[in-house]
Amino acid sequence: MKRFIKNFAIYLVIFAVVLGVAFFYKGADGAKKTAEVKFSTFATHLEKGKYKTINITDRKMTATLKNGNKEYAYAPSVVEISWLENSYVFPQVKSGKLKLSSDPPQSSVNFFSLLPTIIMVVALGFLFYFMMSQGGNNKAFQFGKNRAKLYKENGKNIRFADVAGLKEEKEELEEIVDFLKNPSKYSNLGARIPKGVLLVGNPGTGKTYISRATAGEAGVPFFTISGSDFVEMFVGVGASRVRDLFDQAKKNAPCIIFIDEIDAVGRKRGAGLGGGNDEREQTLNQLLVEMDGFDGNSGIIILAATNRPDVLDPALLRPGRFDRQIVIGMPDVKAREEIFKVHTKNKPLADDVTIEILARRTPGFSPADIENLVNEAALLTARRNGTKIRMDEIEEATTKVMAGPAKKSRVISEAERKLTAYHEAGHAIVMKAIPNSDPVHQITIIPRGMAGGFTMSLPEDEKFFMTKGDMVNMIKHLLGGRVAEELKLDDISTGASNDLERATAIARQMITKYGFSSKLGPVSFSSSDEVFLGKDFSTRQNYSEETASEIDAEIKHILESCYEATTNILKENDEAFERVAQALLLIETLDGEQFNDLYDGKVTPEELAENVKARDEQIAELNKAEAKESERLEEERRQEAEERLKELQSVIVGDLKFEDSTFAEENKPTVKKDLEKPSEEEQTNSNVGWPAEAEEEPKDAEIEADADTDADASKEAAPESKDEYKNDTETDKE
């Protein structure tokens, strides 16, 4: 900021000097000018013979009066100069009363008239050169320079030990780091380290995070840049930035270049929009040449990340460029447990929270989802002024991350509540009745997001493959709501539209992608082509119209058979179905344990409602007590801080009073008044305004001893508040 102000001031001074010089020369020309008069006045003076000399040039007339003054006028376009000359000028010239003259035509350029323009051009040239010579002020002119940032050690580096899970992935990257540290170990064996490593995975799986850990472990220059930083509206800029990046990397070899979201610049060439000569393809071509061209880039390792490996150009993925692909998948239950431990390390958890249970209840969650879940739970705890995160907050945070916040204030008619209750109860009963289905975790009729209600199931074990029976059961689960509406309400609604879409998509995949149809056989009818910018706009249908008709018939057959089976399941479990629906109308939300009790007939909806009401009242009382305790601790911390400040001020003022007796005697009234009523400024900084000879800071040992004494006193006054204070502070930080 200071540098900007300095340069701006210099530019302003230069501009003021240029304007001053220009106005000086303009003023010098203006000093020769005489008074301007109207043409009628000029003609009157000429008629009366008041002029000694007259100069007529074009339509400008300049005359000298007999008293020596000069004046000039311009003849209007409607007046002929010859008339004025014949009527007044020539007769007086003949009589000798007036002298006539005229300026010669300008045949050459007047240097002095061009001098202001020359000075302005020279000054602007100097100004432009000065701006270009400034390192931080020429970004607008450095289009072809790369925008890579050099990763610097700042004492907060991320190491592989900080990355939870991803054991095999870290081993692959540790090999790269070891090569950069001990290249002779591999060169003696004739081994060649991979030139490029591509990190592939879904969003939020930790690709960028593990690359930062690689930078922390490597101990070599680490350049980071995004794929979009190469893209520019000007032709040739992207390729220029690639060249500049590798030139800079060669100067700092051995080093690592990390390109995040490389799919922005590495998409397939030669199809779709843009043809084969657009700016993006030129940038990609230059990147291909730099990675594996005639000039070797020994000691430079390219590290890239993307969640769209399917759109990358094949030339980019061949050996010699990106030799190795590391897939960063979704964490399993063990990895999720480690991730939960990392993100809950500095958060106070209640006794009912168990990390192992949290890991089992969050299948399919990415590390980013888990971090967001824990943060949402902390925010919910702070909302009720709590001091520890309970399992209730974590459950609510999980549901909030998956389905959105609850909209309890939405006004819903009783008919719609009844429809939603039977709809969600139908889903839950079908899940429970079908063997080997995932257990029901939560049922609610409270709107969340775009859904009027939902039924959540959590798998007990990790599944990496789906069988034909599993997919058929999924279709039955989805159709449970639609069948329940038809059985209980004698009508159907639009609430099952999303269920039908998902069920139809599963059935179509069974037939066209996985070959589960006994009629069509083990044949795949799906196209692998995907429509996206940079590829074809349409996909080919690689089967006949007769086959398409048979596919539609098979899909319809699967859906109809599942619909019939779902109807039978709900009819067989009608009593449990009714109990679950009535309980949803009473308490709106059921967890897995409550649902199982209702399904087995262990509790009636009315009894469950009473139990829930009593539990809610108990939790409300507990929340009030915890909120009061939090306020009390906050007040104690505030009072302790104020007391320590006052005691520290008294120590400083007392030392000054008793150590400098001469100053106390000379200024006794003033000092007494100041000590009796210290001002706010003196309370903040009590030594402000004291003379130089009276300034003496108290010794650090004395202040530290006093602070320790205060800390001990506060500890004896409130021995149990230390842990609570620590926990509450950590909660506030989160």
d(CA 36, CA 57): 15
Q: Give the pLDDT of residue 662.
A: 47
Active site residue 424: yes
List phi, psi (to 5°) of 63: -135, 150
d(CA 138, CA 130): 10
DSSP letters spanning 669-704: HHHHHHHHS--HHHHH-TTTT--GGG--PPPHHHHH
d(CA 422, CA 414): 12
Token pair for 212:
């930062």
Let me know: does 358 contact 394? Beta carbons within 8 Å. Answer: yes
Q: Give the pLDDT of residue 156.
A: 64
Strand 440-444 with 454-457, pairing:
antiparallel
Let me know: does 327 contact 154? Beta carbons within 8 Å. Answer: no
Q: In terms of C-beta distances under 8 Å and separation of at least 24 residues, what long-range contacts does 122-130 make, across chains too?
A: 123/14, 123/15, 123/17, 123/18, 126/14, 127/11, 127/14, 127/15, 130/10, 130/11
Strand 70-74 with 35-36, pairing:
parallel
Q: Which amino acid is at 120?
A: M
On the CB side of 610, CA atoms within 13 Å amount to 4
Strand 99-101 with 51-57, pairing:
parallel
Set 376, 424, 485, 734: catalytic member: 424
d(CA 390, CA 348): 9
C-alpha separations of 69 from 30, 38, 62, 64 in Å: 16, 16, 11, 6
Strand 440-444 with 196-201, pairing:
unpaired
d(CA 322, CA 633): 57
Q: Give the pLDDT of residue 18.
A: 66
Taking each helix axis from N to C end, the angle separating 167-181 and 207-218, rounded to the nearest 10 degrees, works out to 30
d(CA 347, CA 379): 11
d(CA 95, CA 83): 18
Spell out a b/e string for 385-408, using b for 16 or more CB atoms within 10 Å of the CB, else e.
bbbbbbbbbbbbbbbbbbbeebee
Give the position of tokens 């900021």.
Answer: 1
Let me know: does 472 contact 436? Beta carbons within 8 Å. Answer: no
List phi, psi (to 5°) of 445: -115, 10
Give the position of tokens 């070599």.
Answer: 220
User: CB burial class (10 A; 0-12, 13-18, 19+) of residue 441?
Assistant: buried
Give the position of tokens 């450095």.
Answer: 142
User: CB burial class (10 A; 0-12, 13-18, 19+) of residue 155?
Assistant: exposed
Q: Give the pLDDT of residue 717.
A: 40
- 3-state DSSP call for residue 355? helix
Give the predicted TM-score (pTM) of the model: 0.63
Nearest to 520 by CA among 560, 478, 548, 492: 548
User: Mean pLDDT in each 10-residue stretch from start to end of the chain (734 residues)?
Assistant: 64 70 54 71 84 83 84 80 80 82 64 70 71 50 58 66 85 86 83 86 88 83 84 73 86 86 84 56 85 69 89 88 89 90 89 88 88 92 88 88 80 88 94 90 87 84 84 94 92 90 94 90 72 47 86 94 95 93 91 90 90 86 83 85 85 62 47 42 40 39 41 41 40 39
Spell out a b/e string for 515-549, using b for 16 or more CB atoms within 10 Å of the CB, else e.
ebbeebeeeebeeeeeeeebbeeeeeeebeeeeee
